[in-house]
Structure 1
Amino acid sequence: MPSPINERLTRLWAHEKASTALRVSIAFGGAMALCWQFQQLAALPAVFLGIIASAIAETDDNGFGRTKAVLLSLLCFGAAAGAVTLLFPYPLAFIACLATTTFALTLLGALGERYASIAQGTVALMLYAAIGIDQHGAGDAEAAWRGAGQLLAGAAWYGALSILWTILFANRPVRERLARLFAELGRYLQLKAALFEPIRDRDLHARRLALSEQNARVVAALEATKNAIISRFGRSGRPGVQSGLYFRLYYMAQEFHERASSSHYPYEALAEAFFHSDVLYRGQRLIELQGRACRALGEAIRLRRPFQYGAGTRQAMVDLRQSLDHLHARGDGRQTRLLASLESLVRNLQAIDRRLAEDTLSDAPLDGMDTRLRDASPHTLREMATRLGRQLSPTSVLFRHGLRMAIALCAGYAVMHAIGARNGFWILLTIAFVCRPSFGATRRRLAQRIAGTLIGLAATWALMQLFVGVEVQLLLALLAAVVFFVSRTDRYALATAAITVMALLCFNLIGDGFVLIWPRLLDTLIGCAIAAAASFLILPDWRGRQLHLVMAGVVDAHARYLGQVLEQYRSGMRDDLPYRIARRDMHNAEAALSVALSNRLREPGRYRRDLDAAFRFLAVSNTALGYLSGLGAHRGTLDGDADEAVFAAGAHLQHALAQIAAALSARRAPPVVDAAAETAMAEALERAGDATDDPRRRLLGTQLALLLRLLPDLRNAAEAAGAAAATSRLAAAG
């Protein structure tokens, strides 16, 4: 039995931020110790900033890939630092170089996360170099080149440490992503359990929207896990003994996600039919417990400990089975179809139960499993050139953002010279870190930047008053740097406060840090104002303009997934790459719509009119996703001859979904259809399902009937959303 102290240390080291915290602590601490040893504390600010730029450019990779990325980063950093040092005395040439470089590097983000991170780090290093030259005076060429060398030394030191860290802890990022994935899946299951609460007059719409938002988080976690696996083990799909566990856990998470997102009947109908029974409460309790089990599995992966599936969850499964058997024994003919849907639900939960009860964390073989992964990154110069070429258009988000950033930096440079701002390059630094591709993200970031700067300045003033010794201030700067890196991805206000403390304490080593407090605040406010104006005025990326295309992508992905599922009802279940791609595209499209609506909520009032129509569409499309996932979760070859009526209904659904997608793309109403014929088709499928003893054939007919009955709601939601999109476009134009 480990002692409490050892247990705490184990949990602390297993925390997903612990690796980052320790790595940057070693980097900053080593640099600080070296500067202290050689009495070169004046070099510490530049070395620290070089470490920060290198860490910003860091991405998850294997040892070889990380080495290539570090060498590419240092090459870009060296060119950037040299260009700034040479051109700084010539304002027009300097700002032209900065703006052009920023625009070009922003477009590099199209090549993948690695290049986007290197681009961001390079722009940051250019501004850090300018800040250093401005601090020492533009006329001191020797100090300028020395500062550039110190920046590159800090970047190289962190790069070398990053390569070593990747080699020593090669698989830790994969475990961290898997742990987060199962934690998000657990939260999704717990939110899904709330839909089964048999209470009248409950707000199902709000619960569906919350579930849709959580689904977006699960999809993001799946994507992050897939990328981590590809970066470590490649995309060939031939896992070894060590990596087989990670592949198996990833595919198990995909299966859980499909089963958890399945819907087998409208929840309102289930609640009304079984209001006086305990079956829904038992189902709700089991799903809640399975959600907790998924979170416990994530914790076991994180701590590298055995996973124990709780006996209480198994008993809940038995209780649900007995409750459903009791309803069957009563033989209420009016509930036959609903009981069949509950049976499908129970089969789904039993499948999750079996997988969780297995020796989940063992290195079981992956014989017969298609373990290929889709890697969307370009791998040849031709692919890279093609992808970059597509960005050279004002319709590209990266093109618009790069141009916006370039113009904003030019405006900030002009304002800096116009007002004679002391340490005015902080204006440009603020613009570079605050300006985001969408107005909503920029608005959120600038509010956090201002709040964090105010907190950081107040904290710095207090700390410099309380601790006047150089040694203590150095330790505080080190702590602030660590806090910045631990919190920069999810708590930007705290990260801004920390980096403000670090910067002012470092500059206090070579001057008077107190006199920089007001300039820092003023420069931050000016930079935020310019970033906000740029996002609002320069090729603004209003979500409403493209929302109809995002919606069309959702419906089109539904149609493609339905085609893959129906094919497997003909030929048999295969969890192969084409099927997984179709399933992932469907969930990615749904998550993209949820994120787009969240961003649109932060846009100015006149650009987010008629959001109700968009959220109604999201709720209906999420219902369709549930019915489609129910089809996919139980797919397999039908017994006996194929029922052509069923597949004819499936073909009709695919065609109808394609028509809705085309109508949304063109901002027009979906074509008028014979609603009575669709209703008759749904009723025929339901009657055929009631007359068969084959549970898979019954489920196929029921799920297709549910989708057919949902088509009118989907068409109405698409028409309303399309009209709202046209209205928003006119508002934006006006």
Structure 2
Amino acid sequence: MTWSIVLPLVIGLLFQRIGTGTIVAIGALCVGLSDSPGTWSEKAKGLIGGSFLNTIAAIGMAICIQWPIIAALYLTIISFASAIISIFGNRATMIGNSVLIAISLGVGFGEPISDLPSLALYLLAGGLWYSLNSLVLWQIRPYASIEKLLGECYVLMSQYFKIKASLFNGDISNDAQNKLFQLQTQIDHKQEEVRTLLLTQRSALQGATPLGRSLILLLRASTDIFEKASATHYSYQELSKQFKDTPLLPKMSSIFNDMGNNLAYLGKHITKRKPTGEIPRHLDDFKEVQDIFESLRDDQDRVIPIDVFAEVKNIIRNFNRIDRTISETATYTDLKNDNNKGFANGLILPNFITSTDQGTLKDHLTINSSHFRHAIRISIAMLLGYVVANFLDLDRGYWVWLSISVILKPSFAITKQRMLQRIIGTTFGIIISAILLKAFNASHIYIIFLLIFGVGTFSTLSKDYRLGMMLLTPFILLMISLSVPFTEKIALYRVIDTALGGIIAFLTSIFIYPEFEIKKINNKIIEATRSACSYFSEVATVYTGYSELDEHNYKLARKKAQLANANLAVSFQIMLNDPKNNQVPSSSLYEFIAASRMLFAHTATLASNAERLSKKHPIPDLQNFIIDIQQQLNSIIEGIEQQKPIEIIPNLSDHLTMLIEETEQIKKEREEELSNNIKESHLIKILSDYVLITNQFMRISKNVKFMGNYANELILG
């Protein structure tokens, strides 16, 4: 982005055609803002098509601006069209946004009509220049954006591991739990983003390149590691209580933290496309923790129940699996590794691409469509911005439209957030600009600052909008100042324009077909519950002994459950910024999401052990329990859909009675062995297996009941 924008400015300065260089740079900027990862053909169509659309729309506005009524009509129509094309997906949405920015930058405003064709060519040239850069870079490194996202995913998982390690070490605060939930949501969405980009690359699906195979294996490994990490869930308060003042939990925390460091190391190497080399296992650490565990378990004076030890043994075993998986994952970074050729391993990879069928344009030309309502809102807001700017006779009033175009979003909550971030970011950005422009009065100095602000802006804009705007504002103002003098008066006008645009966007968002998250919450709850039911059914049925784990169907169900939970969590966060009278009871929804997350975690624990335990200990009696859980989850879906009270099945765990009794009997026998100083026994493994199975199904029944109760609270308000 920075290279494509700054180079035309440098050439313009060298040949004393800075005005022309600025127009070319604006063309590159607008098209660059619409760029997004994807296949070469998708990028080519989007970038080249966007270059022409931006040029036509901007020059059309420059022609119409001479006649206020025609300009107002033109602005309204273009704004509506730019917003409604969002039905065709994210790339179309970004192109629509870039069109709005192009018509709001004042290119050609006030120029004679005879000069506009040449301006159009310069603007188009800027767009095509950026397109060329982007497409050539894609050809050189087609997987670069995917590597970056996948590396970020591993770094996020590293943070997840470190916080989870702190839970084992006694930090069981609400802040830590909330941070875990936030990271889960970020990881789920990051994995989905990588999955969508990677699985739309034909060469990756076919395994035609070593890098493509490597990235698919690394993506698969990230989902497996994250599932196993979710499976480490336990009552950390109970653990802390039982093992207080022992070295067991600090040692477990240390191991988990070290595994988090290994994930960060992997993430950085994935981004740089460098082999990590061998990541050594924590075998000595596991031996040490096993020795501590056994000494505590075999202590004749211990008061800790034997089933707690069995649970901890399962956690340590899961740690070991994660450690082994991380070590194996490191080998996937070596593109010469022959084992990478088994990248698909029986999975039908195209099935893992999330369908995004939005319907046709005709389907959305109705007030029932959220896309149509947003198009109406933005066209009215842009028209209001135009009228207000003209009425107040603002100098360069089109900055009001520019603010509206980047602030007004389909969601009211996001619009409110963007308004505050943009006003704050722009104000500080203008102060920075004023200081720089007063301190320096040399074009070559401006170019140096443009490079700094450009790299800073386009590295942060999507991650921290306020900081991005703080850097983007001086970037644009310095770029324009190369050809147009900048004064303190103009700086004040820009702040006023931004504030006016933000206020108009906010008022339009709240009064014109407001889009509150409460309208979407129910669908998100239903999808999360339905996908949780499918994931549970795929895994739990295996434990009856009637079927084997179908890896493809199970992993597909897992992916859908992860994504549905993440979408519900994001919807909840957005809703919290809506007016109070347009929210469901937030505490009940939060508890529902927490219970749904726990249902996923306990199902993941069963999944991690399914093949091993289902063959050793098939339990046909579980079938009735599974049916009850499915019935309860389906009742939640029906209750939310029809907004009627949900019937809670009493004592969901009744069908687990035989399993509980058998576990208690094994526990009693093992306690007798230990009282007789029998340390080694076949009952050790059997007890840990039964404790794992029993506890997970018991916790699943508890959390499903919680989900039903909290869903009832949501329905009853």
Normalising by structure 1, we get a TM-score of 0.86
Residues 1:532 and 2:509 aligned together: no
The secondary structure found in structure 1 opposite 2:151 is helix
Amino acid at match of 2:571: A
Residues 1:614 and 2:589 aligned together: yes
Contact 1:408 1:530 (8 Å CA) reproduced: yes
CA distance in 2, matches of 1:395, 1:272: 54
Residues 1:81 and 2:58 aligned together: yes
Residues 1:188 and 2:188 aligned together: no
Alpha-carbon offset, residue 649 of structure 1: 0.9
Choose which of 322, 330, 340 in structure 2 pairs with 1:352: 322
CA distance in 2, matches of 1:34, 1:146: 18
Alpha-carbon offset, residue 105 of structure 1: 3.2
CA distance in 1, matches of 2:161, 2:588: 27
Q: Given the superposition, is the C-alpha separation of residues 566 and 312 from structure 1 closer, same or farther in structure 2, using an over 3 Å criterion?
A: closer
Partner of 2:532: 558
Q: Following superposition of structure 1 onto structure 2, how do residues 290-309 of structure 1 map, counting pairs within 5 Å?
A: 290-307=259-276
Residues 1:436 and 2:409 aligned together: yes
After the TM superposition, which of the residue ranges 660-669 and 284-293 deviates more from structure 2? 660-669
Alpha-carbon offset, residue 564 of structure 1: 1.7
Choose which of 626, 646, 650 in structure 2 pairs with 1:670: 646
Partner of 2:547: 571
Residues 1:94 and 2:68 aligned together: no
Partner of 2:30: 53
Alpha-carbon offset, residue 120 of structure 1: 1.7
Q: Given the superposition, is the C-alpha separation of residues 520 and 671 from structure 1 closer, same or farther in structure 2, using an over 3 Å criterion?
A: same
Deviation string, structure 1 residues 139-161 (Cα, Å, up to 9, x no partner) = x1023333222221111111111
Amino acid at match of 1:245: S
Choose which of 118, 126, 129 in structure 2 pairs with 1:157: 129
Alpha-carbon offset, residue 522 of structure 1: 1.4
Partner of 2:624: 648
CA distance in 1, matches of 2:170, 2:466: 42
Deviation string, structure 1 residues 690-718 (Cα, Å, up to 9, x no partner) = 55738656633432222113333222222
Q: Given the superposition, is the C-alpha separation of residues 556 and 408 from structure 1 closer, same or farther in structure 2, using an over 3 Å criterion?
A: same
Amino acid at match of 1:473: Y
Contact 1:178 1:250 (8 Å CA) reproduced: yes
Alpha-carbon offset, residue 591 of structure 1: 1.4
CA distance in 1, matches of 2:278, 2:38: 33
Contact 2:307 2:691 (8 Å CA) reproduced: no
Alpha-carbon offset, residue 27 of structure 1: 1.4
Contact 1:686 1:705 (8 Å CA) reproduced: no
The secondary structure found in structure 2 opposite 1:636 is helix
CA distance in 2, matches of 1:53, 1:33: 18
Q: Following superposition of structure 1 onto structure 2, how do residues 105-124 of structure 1 map, counting pairs within 5 Å?
A: 105-124=82-101
Choose which of 676, 692, 697 in structure 2 pairs with 1:699: 692
Amino acid at match of 1:242: L
Alpha-carbon offset, residue 52 of structure 1: 0.8
Partner of 2:669: none
CA distance in 2, matches of 1:86, 1:685: 79
CA distance in 2, matches of 1:446, 1:68: 32
Alpha-carbon offset, residue 426 of structure 1: 0.6
Residues 1:427 and 2:427 aligned together: no
Choose which of 218, 223, 228 in structure 2 pairs with 1:249: 218
Amino acid at match of 2:644: R
Partner of 2:670: none
Q: Given the superposition, is the C-alpha separation of residues 314 and 307 from structure 1 closer, same or farther in structure 2, using an over 3 Å criterion?
A: farther
Choose which of 127, 138, 145 in structure 2 pairs with 1:166: 138
CA distance in 1, matches of 2:238, 2:632: 25
CA distance in 2, matches of 1:176, 1:476: 26
Choose which of 511, 518, 522 in structure 1 pairs with 2:492: 518
Alpha-carbon offset, residue 224 of structure 1: 2.1
CA distance in 1, matches of 2:568, 2:527: 9
CA distance in 2, matches of 1:273, 1:394: 59
Amino acid at match of 1:493: R
Contact 1:442 1:535 (8 Å CA) reproduced: yes
Alpha-carbon offset, residue 375 of structure 1: 2.4
After the TM superposition, which of the residue ranges 63-72 and 220-229 deviates more from structure 2? 63-72
Partner of 1:399: 372
Deviation string, structure 1 residues 288-316 (Cα, Å, up to 9, x no partner) = 22111111111222334443566684332
Contact 1:434 1:445 (8 Å CA) reproduced: yes
CA distance in 1, matches of 2:42, 2:3: 22
Partner of 1:133: 108
CA distance in 2, matches of 1:653, 1:583: 17
Alpha-carbon offset, residue 227 of structure 1: 2.6
Choose which of 375, 391, 395 in structure 1 pairs with 2:353: 375
Partner of 2:575: 600
Partner of 1:727: none
Partner of 1:716: 709
Normalising by structure 2, we get a TM-score of 0.88
CA distance in 2, matches of 1:330, 1:573: 39
Q: Given the superposition, is the C-alpha separation of residues 312 and 698 from structure 1 closer, same or farther in structure 2, using an over 3 Å criterion?
A: closer
Q: How many residues align?
A: 685
Alpha-carbon offset, residue 505 of structure 1: 3.0
Q: Given the superposition, is the C-alpha separation of residues 175 and 371 from structure 1 closer, same or farther in structure 2, using an over 3 Å criterion?
A: farther
The secondary structure found in structure 2 opposite 1:259 is helix
Partner of 2:309: 339
CA distance in 2, matches of 1:110, 1:219: 24
Partner of 1:4: none
Deviation string, structure 1 residues 663-703 (Cα, Å, up to 9, x no partner) = 2333333114333xx24334433224455738656633432
Q: Given the superposition, is the C-alpha separation of residues 583 and 27 from structure 1 closer, same or farther in structure 2, using an over 3 Å criterion?
A: same
Partner of 1:414: 387
Q: Given the superposition, is the C-alpha separation of residues 288 and 581 from structure 1 closer, same or farther in structure 2, using an over 3 Å criterion?
A: same
CA distance in 2, matches of 1:555, 1:207: 25
Partner of 1:457: 430
Q: Following superposition of structure 1 onto structure 2, how do residues 477-492 of structure 1 map, counting pairs within 5 Å?
A: 477-492=450-465
Aligned CA RMSD, in angstroms, stands at: 2.8
The secondary structure found in structure 1 opposite 2:615 is coil
Contact 2:84 2:375 (8 Å CA) reproduced: yes
Alpha-carbon offset, residue 330 of structure 1: 4.8
Deviation string, structure 1 residues 438-488 (Cα, Å, up to 9, x no partner) = 222222211121122222222222222221223333443444333322221
CA distance in 1, matches of 2:424, 2:556: 42
Q: Given the superposition, is the C-alpha separation of residues 267 and 389 from structure 1 closer, same or farther in structure 2, using an over 3 Å criterion?
A: farther
Deviation string, structure 1 residues 182-213 (Cα, Å, up to 9, x no partner) = 101111111222332357xx53x443322111
For structure 1, the residue ranges without an aligned partner over 5 or more in a row are 1-23, 725-734
Deviation string, structure 1 residues 529-576 (Cα, Å, up to 9, x no partner) = 101111221222222343333223222221111122134444333431
Partner of 1:728: none
Identity of aligned residues (%): 19
Q: Given the superposition, is the C-alpha separation of residues 309 and 538 from structure 1 closer, same or farther in structure 2, using an over 3 Å criterion?
A: farther
CA distance in 2, matches of 1:323, 1:310: 25
Contact 1:685 1:705 (8 Å CA) reproduced: no
Alpha-carbon offset, residue 498 of structure 1: 2.9
The secondary structure found in structure 2 opposite 1:97 is helix
After the TM superposition, which of the residue ranges 679-688 and 183-192 deviates more from structure 2? 679-688
Residues 1:27 and 2:4 aligned together: yes
Q: Given the superposition, is the C-alpha separation of residues 707 and 32 from structure 1 closer, same or farther in structure 2, using an over 3 Å criterion?
A: same
Alpha-carbon offset, residue 609 of structure 1: 7.0
Contact 2:228 2:605 (8 Å CA) reproduced: yes
Q: Given the superposition, is the C-alpha separation of residues 377 and 91 from structure 1 closer, same or farther in structure 2, using an over 3 Å criterion?
A: farther
CA distance in 1, matches of 2:576, 2:368: 22
Contact 1:41 1:509 (8 Å CA) reproduced: yes
The secondary structure found in structure 1 opposite 2:401 is helix
